[in-house]
Chain A
Amino acid sequence: MSQSPKGHKEVMTGAKALVTLLEDRGVEVIFGYPGGANLPIYDELRNSSIQHILVRHEQGSVHMAEGYAKVKGRPGVCLATSGPGVTNLVTGLADALLDSIPVVALTGQIPRGMIGTDAFQEVDAFNITMPVTKHNELVKKESELVKAVDAAFYIANSGRKGPVLLDLPKDLLDEPYPYDLSETCSLPGYNPTTKGNIGQIKKALKAIEKAERPLLLVGAGVESAGAMSEINALIRKLQIPVVRTLMATGVLSFDDPLYLGMIGTHGNGLANRLVNKEADLILIAGAKLSNRSLLRADLFGKDAKLIQLDIDPAEIGKTIEIDIPIVGDVKETLRDMLLRIEDKPIRVGVTPWIHGEHQKTKTMLPKADAAEVMEWVCQELSKIDLKMHVTTDVGRHQMWANHHMTNPKHLPLITSGGLGTMGFGLPAAIGAWFADPQSPVVNLTGDGSFMMNMQEFIVAVEHHVPLTVIVFNDFRLGMIKELQDSSYGKRHIAHDFNKEVDFPLLAKAMGGEGRLVVRREEIAEALFEAIHSRRPNLICFDLERIHLRSAINLAEKAS
């Protein structure tokens, strides 16, 4: 990777070595926040080609790096200081770990001589972040720095991707040392399998050929492996019906006859019935099958042959037993499958075995509390025929968006599935824009989630990001109420926001534009105008008033 001549040593500070290495790897942008311990890096960034984006809270920096990585397919980089800087990263790192997003996090640490003395802004970053990263390292020696940076990028972006953190003591960053920037890491214990075993592939194809009611279940691993075209080729070849997980939006167009919906707690009844009852074979591609995907773990594929394809051997059979495991990169393995089918065609065009396709749009989402308004907004948004990156936050609106955002140009949705982090969407949208400045970005959010990281809106204003924040305002933590309704006998507490927030005014206060929408007829126009303005702006949809007015309108028309 490094562009430095092999074996050549040059005296420079650790910070200079670090920034040069980042430049050599093509890092274009770093999302960060300064503090005493990482100032040496900042001092070097002044003279660097790398653009630094000053976030307003370190959590925002990781989510921006995640959004960037999702769109760019390369690790996003974030930077924080020691102590509170690194503790503020923890949520974002955990988010990236659970959704397998490549992020390289750099943190300043207090000088080596003071480590362990409870010095000012000292926390044990290594141990705090160990369980929320794919790998982390406290760089204790100058001679380790170059290799550690190489390893961080390699580990983050290979195998099952994920966040890697390097903790960098301030004195190491400050002091000169003869660095050899051409050094590379050696990781004898890290050999991600990429080639699926051909014997297993043959077995899988045989089983598919024998099956009468085969089904393909697609997870986010397919997109992460860049295997969207391969999976589509396989679907076409086999004419196999498809269901997906929450994270795998955009695998097939919603009106494709082979697409049959989403599985899991927030999925479609039909899709769940297929995996739990009707299919006699399920080919699972890049899905970790967590408790949220398995509506009934005891029923999932009970009478079906299960084939699981995953880059991570530890995912195979983790929650359910698998008949034919294939460990390998999804893209390479699907290619091998397709080649194999070319060579030895298998019976294609399975007899259409699924009845009731008309049900595929029926979701299991409760319609209460004016929730349909979210559907109307998503439908209108889906009519905007522009390439856009759309993020969501966490709550009811996330699930409604998941079912009703149907324009392939807006998919896959960028959403926090594994950790379910409220406050993910806004910074992730900003990060996504830095990866693809041609396309506007949209954040679909709830009033609760928006308030978790709303300070980052200023970053969008500062950098003229064509961002539209869509706040579905239900004046409460909607999903919490939903859970209290369904599981706690409608005993309510701690979900109502008793004070109304003027969200458009907030956006204006931060230098953006804001608009409140209270009528259904306004939805389309408000969205069109906001997105085409290519300016940072916020639309607050008042779910209750829109709902009420449209009901009154209907009643008036009827009478």
Chain B
Amino acid sequence: MKSKIEGRHVIALEVEDKPGVLTRISALFSRRGFNVESLTVGHTHQPGVSRFTIVVVGAEAELEQVRKQTQKLINVLKTFHVLDQEEASDLELTQGGAKNVQHAVMRELALVKVHYDKESARQINHIVERFSARMLHWSGEDLVLEFSGTEAKVDAVFEELKQVTVLESVRTGKVAMSIETK
């Protein structure tokens, strides 16, 4: 019996790049009672093929149903339920080795605009060093930083950033790539 407890799940989709495909997918998730926590979409190396990574909250028992319903959309090429490599070990137990579950590495990107002045300089430099941030733009007062990494790492970045003045920030949500596990 699959778990009825709500949890977070990651679904990756390859879709034909057709008008309305984003609506079809998001409508389907909301209709079947799943809250979309993050959704990223972009082109792949194949012309006309886009890739979605969707993080949803819902019961695992219903997740397979949503995956199947998504697979039925005419413009959807492939669907996989992916497991974060880092979280895989405990999740695997509940999955019971389902066919459509794949291991994956996942990353997230964040852009953050901070107020940079004499007082905050030390703290910000420390954060940049510690999380290997890239400095993208400097206006004399504001500094735009780029962070990327696992969700846990980006969470940690945001924890640290509480000590400085953040003017704007944005996180992409996860993107996932499946991997072979031995």
* Contact digits for B85-119, partner A, Cβ 8 Å, 1 yes 0 no: 00000000000000000000000000000000000
> In the complex, what residues of A have CB within 8 A of residue B73's CB?
189
B16 interface contact, C-beta 8 A: yes
Are A155 and B74 touching (Cβ within 8 A)? yes
Whether A190 touches B74, Cβ cut-off 8 Å, given contacts A130-B23, A138-B19, is yes
Are B16 and A321 touching (Cβ within 8 A)? no
Q: How many chain B residues have a CB neighbour from A under 8 Å? A: 19
* Contact digits for A174-214, partner B, Cβ 8 Å, 1 yes 0 no: 00000000000001111000000000000000000000000
> In the complex, what residues of B have CB within 8 A of residue A321's CB?
1
Are B74 and A187 touching (Cβ within 8 A)? yes
Q: Which of B64-72, B142-150, B169-177 contacts A (4 or more CB under 8 A)?
A: B64-72
> In the complex, what residues of B have CB within 8 A of residue A313's CB?
68, 71-72
Are A314 and B69 touching (Cβ within 8 A)? yes
> In the complex, what residues of B have CB within 8 A of residue A190's CB?
74
Chain A interface residue bracket vs B: 10 to 19
> In the complex, what residues of B have CB within 8 A of residue A155's CB?
74
Whether A189 touches B19, Cβ cut-off 8 Å, given contacts A131-B27, A321-B1, is no
> In the complex, what residues of A have CB within 8 A of residue B15's CB?
189
Are A314 and B72 touching (Cβ within 8 A)? yes
Determine the distance from Cα of A127 to Cα of B22 in the docked complex, in whole angstroms. Answer: 12
Determine the distance from Cα of A126 to Cα of B15 in the docked complex, in whole angstroms. Answer: 19
A545 interface contact, C-beta 8 A: no
Whether A189 touches B68, Cβ cut-off 8 Å, given contacts A127-B23, A130-B24, A131-B27, is no
Are A318 and B65 touching (Cβ within 8 A)? yes
Are B1 and A188 touching (Cβ within 8 A)? no
B40 interface contact, C-beta 8 A: no
Determine the distance from Cα of A266 to Cα of B65 in the docked complex, in whole angstroms. Answer: 27
Are A131 and B31 touching (Cβ within 8 A)? yes
Within 8 A of B (CB), among A122-173: 126-127, 130-131, 134-135, 138, 140, 151, 155
In the complex, the chain A residue whose C-beta lies closest to that of B13 is A189
B128 interface contact, C-beta 8 A: no
> In the complex, what residues of B have CB within 8 A of residue A131's CB?
27, 31
> In the complex, what residues of A have CB within 8 A of residue B24's CB?
130
**Of residues B27, B71, B72, B77, which shows the largest number of chain A Cβ atoms within 10 Å of its Cβ?**
B72
A312 interface contact, C-beta 8 A: yes
In the complex, the chain B residue whose C-beta lies closest to that of A140 is B19
Are B77 and A188 touching (Cβ within 8 A)? yes
B76 interface contact, C-beta 8 A: yes
Min C-beta distance of A145 to chain B, whole Å: 15
> Which residue in A135, A140, A188, A314 is a CB contact (below 8 Å) of B16?
A188
* Contact digits for A462-483, partner B, Cβ 8 Å, 1 yes 0 no: 0000000000000000000000
> In the complex, what residues of A have CB within 8 A of residue B65's CB?
314, 318
> In the complex, what residues of A have CB within 8 A of residue B19's CB?
138, 140
> In the complex, what residues of B have CB within 8 A of residue A127's CB?
20, 23
> In the complex, what residues of B have CB within 8 A of residue A312's CB?
72
> In the complex, what residues of A have CB within 8 A of residue B71's CB?
313-314
Determine the distance from Cα of A321 to Cα of B4 in the docked complex, in whole angstroms. Answer: 13
Within 8 A of A (CB), among B1-31: 1, 15-16, 19-20, 23-24, 27, 31
Within 8 A of B (CB), among A311-354: 312-314, 318, 321
> In the complex, what residues of B have CB within 8 A of residue A187's CB?
74
In the complex, the chain A residue whose C-beta lies closest to that of B49 is A188
A-B contact pairs, 20 of them (CB 8 A): A126-B20, A127-B23, A130-B20, A130-B23, A130-B24, A130-B27, A131-B31, A134-B74, A135-B74, A155-B74, A187-B74, A188-B16, A189-B15, A189-B73, A189-B74, A189-B77, A190-B74, A313-B71, A314-B71, A318-B65
Q: 3 nearest interchain CB pairs?
A: A314-B68, A189-B77, A135-B74
Contacts from B to A (Cβ < 8 Å)? 1, 15-16, 19-20, 23-24, 27, 31, 65, 68-69, 71-77
Contacts from A to B (Cβ < 8 Å)? 126-127, 130-131, 134-135, 138, 140, 151, 155, 187-190, 312-314, 318, 321
